[in-house]
Amino acid sequence: MVRITGEYQGDLHCSAVHEPSGSALATDAPKDNQGRGAAFSPTDLVATAFATCIATTMAIAARRHGVDIAGIRYEVTKEMAADAPRRISRLSARFWLPASARGVPQGVLERAAATCPVHQSLAPSVEKTVDFAWE
């Protein structure tokens, strides 16, 4: 169990603290939803969690094969649904894998990406795409 504490600070801003580490972050409503976009929005954090979970899960899988894939780069885009209720409709992630990733047996990293906990936790109605570029 991990505890995260936080506070709504007013003006559509929240703070959150990851209790085990003491790391803190702030959120703000996006510009297209009455905010200033001064920090990650809650749905931006979902997109970030999607990409970072995939990267981490791939790194764990690579480690099992004795391969260090440090240097993975990623980009994730989030699209919101045009109709109500307001929700994420699509997450698209692209990963640039370092040359060392070729040392992982074929298909292992792709399976890891598809089975990361965040990917598995998102509603089936959220379209999720993951693409790889091999260096």
The domains of the chain are located at: 1-40, 41-134
Query: pLDDT, tens digit, for every residue of 15-70?
Result: 999 999 999 999 999 999 999 999 999 999 999 999 999 999 999 999 999 999 99
Residue 2 makes CB contacts below 8 A (sequence gap 6+) with 18, 19, 20
| pTM score of the predicted model | 0.94
Going by pLDDT thresholds of 50, 70 and 90, the confidence category of residue 89 is: very high
CATH class of 41-134: alpha beta
Query: pLDDT, tens digit, for every residue of 91-126?
Result: 999 999 999 999 999 999 999 999 999 999 999 999
Cα–Cα distance, 59 to 69 (Å, whole number): 6
In contact, 76 and 47? CB cutoff 8 Å: yes
Render 12-50 in DSSP notation, one character per residue: TEEEEEETTT--EEEEE--GGGTS---SB-HHHHHHHHH
Cα–Cα distance, 52 to 125 (Å, whole number): 21
